[in-house]
Amino acid sequence: MLRLVEADLLKLRRRRGMVAVVAAIVFGAVAIYYGVGVIVDAGDAGNFDSAIGVLALLASVAGAVIGATAGGADIESGVFRDLVATGRSRTALFFSRVPASWALVLGMLAIAVAASAGLSAVIADAPSAGDIARGAATVLVSGALTAAVCVGLAALTGRSGPVMGLALAFQLGVAPLVAQLDVLGDARLAIPAVAIARFDGAEGLVASLPLLAAIAIVLAWAAAALGAGLWRSRTQEI
Amino acid sequence: MTSLAIETHGLGKRFGAHTALESIDLEVPRGSAFGFLGRNGAGKTTLVRLLLGLAKPTSGTMRLLGHDLPRDRAKALARVGAIVEEPRFHPHLTGRENLHVHAAARDRAAHGRVAGALERVGLAARADDPVKGYSLGMRQRLGIARCLLCDPELLILDEPVNGLDPAGILEFRNLVRSLVGEGRTVLLSSHLLDEVEKTCDFAAIVDSGRVMAQGTIEELTSISDERTIDIVAAPTVKAAGVLAGVPAIASAIEHDGGIRATLAPGAPRDADVVTTLLRRLLAEGIAIERVTPVTRSLEDQFLSMTTRLENA
């Protein structure tokens, strides 16, 4: 299994354009946030919590791009058929994409969180260990969940581009809007971004959500998407 | 160890109302090159997909290298290398990287075979170029290299010479023969009759999802009971007239500057017939330049079988 994960990671790393764009988005956002903060010198310039808010949003972008690419690459290139013809289990071939995408996404996000903590310490107040842990958990869970969901959906549909677009539209457009609809009441807690906000101790709606429930919601989203992708991978005739 | 590399009984596959494979009984001996011959759409690729576990049969049984499919699929396919239709790769990876990606799905030793496989198919010099720059012929050769990563006992190659130039086809033919020489079995699925005849020891002719005949190439080309002899003699018209009067001859027609004589059913063996014919022609003062028995090619056999089926 480890060799399959390494192979999937190689396929992702060699997409240099994609890696460069995602890295530019993640690290560029950190650079712009702190750079603008220094120039403008506003009251909350260099605030670590605000940086985490931006990174949590961009984590879903990075997760969508890399997860969808990992999930759809073998099918779109036609290589999945040749890999299945080796006799290797389709389940192993499917699941190896998840840790591979996580290695790339979470690696970048962890560096971005560490850089944010360091820059906040230089520019403003140093965040506490608890702040860093909560912030890191929020960003990493956001990236990991989006990547896992996109791996599953790309395997389900056999297409990475539309899945990427759908995930970005949902995370950046639909979810924030739906979260504002009071008429939906507690049903809004099922929105992944809302549940993930609980990891950072957000106030308001999510404050009433127990941490275990937030974890369960995140796991349910991942299980649903990965389950659908696994079902398709195991049953499709190629 | 069974003497058969592939064994299928009553194998069928339906896609809705369409029957792709009717009932395939196939026996591929180990250590041979076996041609699976059929027109486009005859069911060749469907059979390959069933053997490799890419699709499920709707009826029948399969055994690969002595293992039941689909029950022992992993064991059966561990020593099987395959190309299904056009070989596909990740275009942004190099040839070498693509082989390592594939090797990751094989046993650990497969990574150690990458360099040797590239060398064997003549791609060592281009191994570190991205595959998106490869020609179709190079991708075919890389596909063969990929098959070699598992040290295969059996290679299943579906239309492997598509895109190869004449020199490439010759190289491929030599490669198949050398693989067979090492004791490996090669199943070659193709619509190229000439290629199968030149490369394979055995063949099966498939049409409309059914195996019409199988056996050695010699057996297949001698299935017909029709015997024909070409005679070059002068004057041709007079010779044709004389031959038409011989009871052992069913028909004698001018053909390609000579006469093609088809023997009547129940005619004596060739040597006796030819002796009789020559005596009659010489007695009439006809000069004889050449007498040649017409050998049926696999193509003749294939066309006669598939045409017969169409007319049925």
Distance between CA A82 and CA B48 in Å, rounded? 12
**CB spacing of B75 vs A14 below 8 angstroms:** no
Residues A149/A221, Cβ–Cβ less than 8 Å = yes
The partner residue sitting opposite A85, judged by closest CB among B82, B91, B93, is B82
Residues B46/B210, Cβ–Cβ less than 8 Å = no
**Interface size, chain A vs chain B, as Cβ–Cβ contacts under 8 Å:** 80
Q: Which amino acid is at A163?
A: V
Instruction: State residue B312's pLDDT score.
Output: 44
The ranges of chain A with pLDDT < 50 are none
Q: A139: burial class by Cβ within 10 Å (0-12, 13-18, 19+)? A: buried
Instruction: State residue B91's pLDDT score.
Output: 95
The partner residue sitting opposite B88, judged by closest CB among A14, A78, A89, is A78
State the angle between helix axes of A48-77 and A2-13 in degrees (0 to 180), rounded to the nearest 10. 100
Instruction: State residue B228's pLDDT score.
Output: 80
Q: Which two tokens stand for residue B159?
A: 């239309």
Distance between CA B115 and CA B99 in Å, rounded? 9
Residues A81/B88, Cβ–Cβ less than 8 Å = yes
- Residue A158, helix vs strand vs coil: coil
Q: Tell me the pLDDT of chain B (312 aa) as tens digits.
A: 568 999 999 899 988 888 888 888 899 999 999 999 888 778 888 899 999 989 999 999 999 998 998 889 999 999 999 998 888 999 999 999 999 999 999 999 999 999 999 999 989 999 999 999 998 888 988 999 999 999 999 999 988 887 778 888 888 888 889 999 999 999 998 887 778 888 888 988 888 778 888 888 877 776 666 778 888 888 888 888 888 888 888 888 887 788 888 887 777 777 777 888 888 888 888 888 888 877 766 776 676 666 544 544
Instruction: State residue B311's pLDDT score.
Output: 47
What's the number of domains chain A is made of? 1
Distance between CA B161 and CA B150 in Å, rounded? 21
Closest chain A C-alpha to B95 CA, distance in angstroms: 13
Residue A133, CA atoms < 13 Å, CB-side half-sphere: 3
Hey, of A86, A93, A95, A238, which one would you mutate to test binding to chain B, going by the most B CBs within 10 A of its CB? Answer: A86
Q: Which two tokens stand for residue A19?
A: 């890696």
- Is A89 touching B (CB cutoff 8 A)? yes
Instruction: State residue A95's pLDDT score.
Output: 95
Distance between CA A36 and CA A58 in Å, rounded? 18
Contacts of B136 in chain A (CB under 8 A): none
**CB spacing of A82 vs B49 below 8 angstroms:** no
Provide the domain limits for residue A62: 2-235
Contacts of A77 in chain B (CB under 8 A): 88-91
Cβ-based interface (< 8 Å): residues of B facing A = 49, 52-56, 73-78, 80, 82, 84, 87-93, 97, 100-106, 108, 146, 150
Residues A81/A238, Cβ–Cβ less than 8 Å = yes
Q: B261: burial class by Cβ within 10 Å (0-12, 13-18, 19+)? A: buried
Q: Which residues pair with B253 in a beta bridge?
A: B260
